A and B are shown apart, each in its own frame.
Chain A
Amino acid sequence: MEAKKIKTKRNILNICMNNVVWILLVVSILIMGVFKSSFYSFGILSNILVQGTVLGMLAVAVSMVILLGDINLSTVGTAGFSALIGVMMMKKGLPIPLAIIVIPSVGGLVGLVNGLIVTKLKANALIETLAMNMVLQGSLLAVTNGNTISQLPDSYKYVSQGKIGIFPVLPIVLFVIFIIFYFIWNKTIFGRSLFAVGGNEHSAYIAGINIKAIKIGAFVISGLLSGLAGYLLSAYMGAVTSSFGKSYEMQCIAAAVVGGVSLTGGKGSILGVLGGTLLLTVIQVGLAILGIPSTMITLAGGLMIFVAVIIDASRSMYQAGK
């Protein structure tokens, strides 16, 4: 009887620990509402989803590589560079739908280069993608000469700015992407292999998994998603700036990790990444709405991510000690 009680207690604790990001999300939404009841308006809540879309896609992009036990620091650089190429080609007369296809393709190509260098040349992913990011952001700066490319056509911007009735289109993209990746991660051979390689590369190799192909594939998809995020952000802002997407650089990694994607590889859930994305967005948007001076937002946001990371770390320790 007593043992059973302890067991249920432990189960409840387990469930809480595994869903800590969602609990934090609810708590932070409640807190925001206490301070500012207008937080619960449709406008603000849908705004959170809109703001979360780009971050969410970048978080999935970086998760693809974190699951391998590696890291991809070039997601934002890829997003900016891909958007730049697409927009420039469009300005040169490429039809808009083709330009929209070009952007993620360029991203995928960047991912392929990353993947090849990391697997074939056995370069360290951290340094390689850091260098790639600098090259891409540097190119963006060099080409734009520090100026902003704007005046993008309306049909280019539709996905990011359009509405169906009162509902913005953008969150639909977010959910479609998450559903697709739910299937990839949980139901496909590629997804399983991805987790296997991240979990124990040697064991995966002996089990007959082509680890190089899986790694390259993960980097390509990571780049593709980064490119797509680049398109959505450029369409949302209606411009490609020279410091395109900088604020997302570390946030997307934080969203993935807070969502439970383990930095050592092989562990993570797509639902967790969604939770992490929404949590970080709520914090960002919420702090702005609460009227925290914009000079303080980075600090406050950083501290809140700290809290989330510490909770996540204690979860890992709790599970290890069990």
Chain B
Amino acid sequence: MDNNILLEIKNVSKSFGTTQALKDISIQIRPGMIHSFLGRNGAGKSTIVNIIAGVYPQTTGEVFFEGKNIKNLNIFNRQELGIRLVPQHENSFVNLTVAENIFVGLLPKTKRGLVDWKAMNEIAKKELVDYGLDMDPTEMVRNLSSIDARKLNIIRAMHGGAKLIILDEPTTALTNRERDELFVFIRKLKEEGTAFIFISHYLGEVKELSEEITVLRDGGMYPVENPKAVTEDYLSSLVAGEEVQLIKRRYKTEYEDKDKLFECKHLTGVGLNDVSLDIYRGEILGIVGFPGSGAREMCRTLFGINKLVKGEILYVGKKLPIKSPKDAIRNGVAYISFDRHREGLTPQFTVNYNIGMSILHSKLKRPFGFINLKKEREVSEKYKEMLKIKCNSIDDPIGSLSGGNQQKVVVSRSLGSDPKLLILDEPTIGIDIKSREEIILAINDMTRSGMSVIYLTNDYEELLRVADRLIFFKDARIVARVDNKDLSIDRITEIRDQVKGEK
């Protein structure tokens, strides 16, 4: 075997139940190489990464690291070998200092067995300088900017002796300028011999940064020959594939006053400062904003999760008393959370019970507090058909479904209450392409019958396909409103970064 191969993946496949998540993947990575995985949500990027890091085992195939089969090593053994995963969500300990974060797990000790704080801060300072970072090691991590927190995560990995660092979508909450800064940092480490696996669904940055690209689609592998020479169009067709027809919405262009359904006036609350906004019948209103910008906060305030301190929500001129999700649903507002497992699913329930949850007090109500079980099944069957939910029967436990089909159940639960306004918060995160398009199609159809939609996502390609108008959030306020006309992904990031107030 070639001694110069750091990581070798040989014919790896993975299935979850009946779903095949990865099919026969073979990849080689050398030291000092940046290798990118490119693909849509649900294409298999996270799966392959989790297999490399040892989060779960492959079904078939082998993974070698420095020529050694690492099949029987768990995630911690692999970390010791030098495989470090830097997850998408920041996993720093925000209430510890920078130095403590770097040293966590291996704090230096004094002779008496106590933590040697002085030595720790000194070594940390030196490492930070070595990597070109101007940070105070005694600073609390929660006070760091998101770019510094990302870099700190990488330094943490380096400190642990990383030879291969896996960066799972490290750029999602960064402006273009911060992204460039991160890339400079990554390249510097690469020159010193560290290998990177870089994961992203933005074509441009992948092409810019990587020396090798593997496109993943539906669990299959499509290596890109000579990545510097290929065009973005070529990559994009490789990513999209031909099998799935992408839904493209016919945009709504006419806005008449009589179609104005919801008026939000001066909404003020946690992370939301004097936001006013009208929502028209049958429109899909796209929302752009970084975490903490007020985008998600508005969604959650409209649905009664976050408290509305000031301002009011009107429906055709009438004030809506929304103090809880229960009130919101009763008043025709539904919400689908970005966190399917925490706020979407009830794991002990069947598909049928999950779908029925939001309508127990309305459609399914019978005298003396009984549930109309027959009606419940009818509703579930209806949505099973409408959203093409794949299961043997609606009595299957929800856990036996794939992620995409679970999300369809969550969507069904919300649609079941016949909302006039549906708020979608990252509705397609972590699901396969086919399910995603089926969900988008169903929602698009519902807007024809008058339902309005608020659509918050970080996938701007998706947003461009579905949104009629876009609203940009920054610092708890709306800072730009744009019709979806002649927009591109680059234009969106441009407006977004502009309004973020970069000098």
Contacts and interface: CB of A to CB of B under 8 A. Distances in A.
Whether A and B are associated in the same complex: the answer reads yes
Interface of A: 183, 187-190, 192-193, 195-196, 198-200, 202-210, 266-267
B321 interface: no
Contacts of A208: 325-326, 328-330, 357-358, 361, 417
A187 B325 contact: no
A206 B343 contact: yes
B365 interface: yes
A188 B371 contact: yes
Interface centre among A192, A206, A267 (most CB of B within 10 A): A206
B235 to A, nearest CB: 37
Contact of B346 (A189, A190, A200, A210): A200
Contacts of A188: 368-371
Contacts of B348: 195, 198-200, 266-267
A266 B399 CA distance: 14
A-B pairs, top 10 by smallest CB distance, nearest first, are A207-B357, A208-B329, A199-B348, A199-B346, A266-B348, A208-B326, A189-B360, A206-B343, A207-B358, A200-B346
A266 B353 CA distance: 13
Contacts of B325: 205-208
Nearest to A264: B348
Nearest to B413: A207
19 contacts: A187-B373, A188-B369, A189-B360, A192-B353, A192-B357, A192-B371, A199-B347, A199-B348, A202-B342, A203-B357, A204-B357, A206-B325, A207-B325, A208-B330, A208-B358, A208-B361, A210-B324, A266-B348, A267-B348
Interface of B: 305, 324-326, 328-330, 335, 337, 342-349, 353, 356-358, 360-361, 364-365, 368-371, 373, 413, 417
Contacts of B373: 187
Interface centre among A183, A202, A203, A207 (most CB of B within 10 A): A207
Nearest to B305: A206
A266 B371 contact: no
B349 A195 contact: yes
A292 B308 CA distance: 66
A195 B349 CA distance: 9
B370 A189 contact: yes
B38 to A, nearest CB: 33
Contacts of B417: 208
Nearest to B365: A189
A187 B370 contact: yes
A295 B344 CA distance: 52
Contacts of B358: 207-208
Contacts of B364: 189
Contact of B357 (A183, A209, A266, A267): A209
A245 to B, nearest CB: 31
Given A209-B326, A267-B348, A203 B343 contact: yes
B323 to A, nearest CB: 11
A206 B349 contact: no
A189 B361 contact: yes
A213 to B, nearest CB: 9
A199 B350 CA distance: 12
Nearest to B327: A208
A183 B371 CA distance: 10
Contacts of B326: 208-210
Contacts of B324: 210
Contacts of A205: 305, 325, 343
Interface centre among A187, A200, A203 (most CB of B within 10 A): A203
B358 to A, nearest CB: 5
Contacts of B353: 192, 196
B371 A187 contact: yes
A204 B329 CA distance: 13
Contacts of B328: 208
A187 B348 CA distance: 17
Nearest to B349: A199
A202 B343 CA distance: 5
B346 A192 contact: no
B337 A206 contact: yes
Nearest to A187: B370
Contacts of A196: 346, 349, 353, 357
A170 to B, nearest CB: 27
B335 A206 contact: yes
A183 B344 CA distance: 27
Interface centre among A196, A204, A208 (most CB of B within 10 A): A208
